[in-house]
């Protein structure tokens, strides 16, 4: 679709979306375009109306696609039409009147402090390059709350031992500085010694490598976290994001300021950070119930 080239350039260059996000948007729009051609014999998705879009939504529902996934597809389409509006190709966005489908919010339970302590204190990481690397990765996720892709993209020069900080490149190339605990600095030093002894380093700038010397990749990072936490937790989901969730929740439970946690996580708005507060509220309820003088009165 020639219509998509300026749009994808806009997403990559101006909005600074990742190539994976742009690919997902492209797939969704091309899927919609195929539907419009089949159902309405139209090649032009720029001039469609909401009734036609609604037909597509109904077809997605009939395919048993989840409301969450449908909303994501509609979001891609909405971004496309907002771009068309911006460049003057259309006068009104056909999705202006659309309301997102209702979704059941999934509560992702963070790891408990006991579960994290079990991994870091009870499980033995062997003294090999991979063993030390895996321990650093677990510690870094829990002590900084960084995202998986942010960890994958860390460079050697991201580390500053003198200031005890880590420079993280977040979403849309937004940089932030994250403080490092003394304990993680010691493990990082051990890791860097092991890293320097690798026989063949292919990606010399990257902080985290595979044992073959190549830059580490996202699925490997997921497997590392899932592997170690499977030994310590019975939770269904054991992923880097749950460690990020745990980092935020445990800080908030200890009384950390919401704005400070927002900055540490690299969120652009407080609304995104507030997702992590539900466990803190649960903790506050326990304290409130235990401490309030009237909580034990019989009614």
Selection from 151, 284, 146 nearest residue 215 by Cα: 151
Q: Are 264 and 178 in contact (CB under 8 A)?
A: yes
* Statement to judge: residues 160 and 220 lie in one domain: yes
Domain of 25: which CATH number?
A: 1.10.150
Q: Quick one: 127 and 16 in the same domain?
A: no
Give how far the C-alpha of residue 174 lies from the chain's centroid of Cα atoms, to the nearest Å. Answer: 14
C-alpha 168/C-alpha 174 separation (Å) is 8
Q: Which of 51, 54, 8 is nearest to 29 (CA)?
A: 8
Catalytic residues: 147, 171, 241, 244, 267, 276
Q: Are 132 and 218 within one domain?
A: yes
DSSP 44: -
Exposed/middle/buried for 94, CB within 10 Å: 0-12, 13-18, 19+?
buried
Q: Is residue 245 part of a domain?
A: no
Q: Could you tell me if 73 and 127 lie in one domain?
A: no
CA distances from 23 to 11, 123, 140 (A): 10, 39, 30
C-beta atoms surrounding 229 within 10 Å: 23
The whole-angstrom separation of Cα 80 and Cα 73 is 11
**Pick from 93, 88, 87, 1: nearest CA to 43:** 1
Residues 82 and 137 in one domain: no
Element (H, E) at 178: strand 175-179
Give residue 235's pLDDT. 81
Q: Do residues 172 and 12 lie in contact, with contact meaning Cβ atoms separated by under 8 Å?
A: no
pLDDT of residue 281: 59
Helices 258-265 and 240-253, interaxial angle, to 10°?
160
Would you give per-residue pLDDT tens digits along the chain (299 residues)? 556 889 999 999 888 888 888 999 999 999 999 999 998 887 788 889 999 999 999 999 999 898 989 999 999 999 999 999 999 999 999 999 999 888 766 667 889 999 999 999 999 899 999 999 999 999 999 999 999 999 999 999 999 999 999 999 988 888 999 999 999 999 999 999 999 999 999 999 999 999 999 999 999 999 999 999 999 988 878 999 999 999 998 998 888 888 888 889 988 888 778 777 666 556 556 665 776 666 655 44
> With pLDDT > 90 as the criterion, what percentage of the chain qualifies?
63
Does 174 lie in the same domain as 229?
Answer: yes
Residues 95, 81: contact at Cβ < 8 Å? yes
What is the predicted pLDDT for the residue at 298? 42
* pLDDT for 299: 42
158: in domain: yes
Distance CA 32, CA 72 (A): 13
Q: Tens digits of per-residue pLDDT, 103-141?
A: 766 667 889 999 999 999 999 899 999 999 999 999 999
On whether residue 271 sits in a domain, the answer given is no
- Final residue belonging to a domain, choices 217, 238, 259: 238
The last residue of a domain, from among 238, 257, 285: 238
Task: Verify that 126 and 181 share a domain, yes or no.
Answer: yes
Query: Looking at the domain assignment, is residue 142 inside a domain?
Result: yes
How many domains in the chain? 2
Q: Identify whether residues 123 and 82 lie together within a single domain.
A: no
Structural domain contains residue 60: yes
CA 281-283-289 angle, to 5 degrees, is 100
Distance, in Å, from the CA atom of 204 to the CA atom of 289, rounded to the nearest integer, reads: 54
Quickly list DSSP for 169-211: E-GGG-EEEEE--HHHHHHHHHHHHHHHT-S--S-TTBSSB-T
The CATH code of the domain that includes 145 is: 1.10.443.10
71 and 125 inside one domain:
no
Structure token digits, residue 129: 């390059």
pTM over 0.75: no
Q: Compute the distance between CA of residue 40 and CA of residue 285 in angstroms, rounded to an integer.
A: 55
Of 221, 238, 255, the one marking the end of a domain is: 238
Phi, psi values for residue 241, rounded to 5°: -65, -35
- Which pLDDT belongs to residue 40? 86
Q: Give the pLDDT confidence score for residue 261 in this predicted structure.
A: 87
- Looking at the structure, tell me whether residues 67 and 128 fall in a common domain: no
Please give the C-alpha separations between residue 258 and each of 119, 248, 265, 271, in angstroms, as whole numbers: 27, 9, 11, 10
Same structural domain, 137 and 78:
no
In a domain, 119, yes or no: yes
- Tell me, what's the pLDDT at 159? 96
What pLDDT is stored for residue 71 in this prediction? 93
Identify whether 203 is part of a domain.
Answer: yes
For residues 77 and 174, membership in a common domain is answered with no
Structural domain of 224: 114-238
56: in domain = yes
């Amino acid at each position: 679709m020639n219509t998509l080239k300026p749009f994808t350039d806009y997403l990559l260059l101006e909005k600074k979306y990742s190539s994976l996000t742009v690919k997902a948007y492209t797939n969704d729009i091309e899927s919609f375009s195929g539907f419009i051609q089949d159902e309405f014999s139209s090649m032009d998705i720029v001039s469609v109306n909401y009734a036609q879009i609604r037909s597509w939504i109904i077809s997605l529902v009939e395919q048993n696609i989840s409301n969450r996934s449908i909303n994501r597809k509609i979001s891609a389409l909405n971004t496309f039409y907002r771009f068309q509006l911006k460049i003057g190709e259309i006068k009104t966005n056909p999705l202006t009147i659309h309301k997102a489908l209702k979704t059941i919010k999934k509560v992702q339970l963070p790891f408990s402090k006991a579960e994290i302590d079990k991994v870091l204190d009870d499980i033995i990481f062997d003294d090999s390059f991979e063993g030390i690397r895996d321990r650093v990765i677990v510690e870094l996720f829990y002590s900084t709350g960084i995202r998986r892709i942010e960890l994958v993209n860390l460079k050697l020069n991201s580390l500053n031992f003198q200031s005890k900080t880590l420079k993280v490149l977040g979403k849309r190339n937004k940089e932030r500085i994250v403080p490092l605990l003394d304990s993680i600095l010691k493990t990082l030093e051990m890791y860097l010694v092991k890293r320097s002894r690798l026989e063949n380093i292919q990606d010399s700038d990257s902080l985290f490598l595979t044992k073959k010397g190549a830059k580490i990749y996202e699925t490997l990072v997921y497997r590392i976290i899932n592997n170690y936490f499977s030994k310590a937790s019975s939770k269904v989901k054991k992923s880097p994001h749950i460690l990020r969730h745990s980092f935020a929740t445990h800080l908030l439970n200890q009384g950390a300021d919401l704005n400070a946690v927002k900055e540490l996580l690299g969120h652009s708005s407080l609304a995104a950070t507030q997702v992590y507060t539900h466990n803190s509220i649960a903790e506050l309820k326990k304290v409130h119930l235990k401490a309030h003088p009237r909580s034990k009165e019989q009614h």
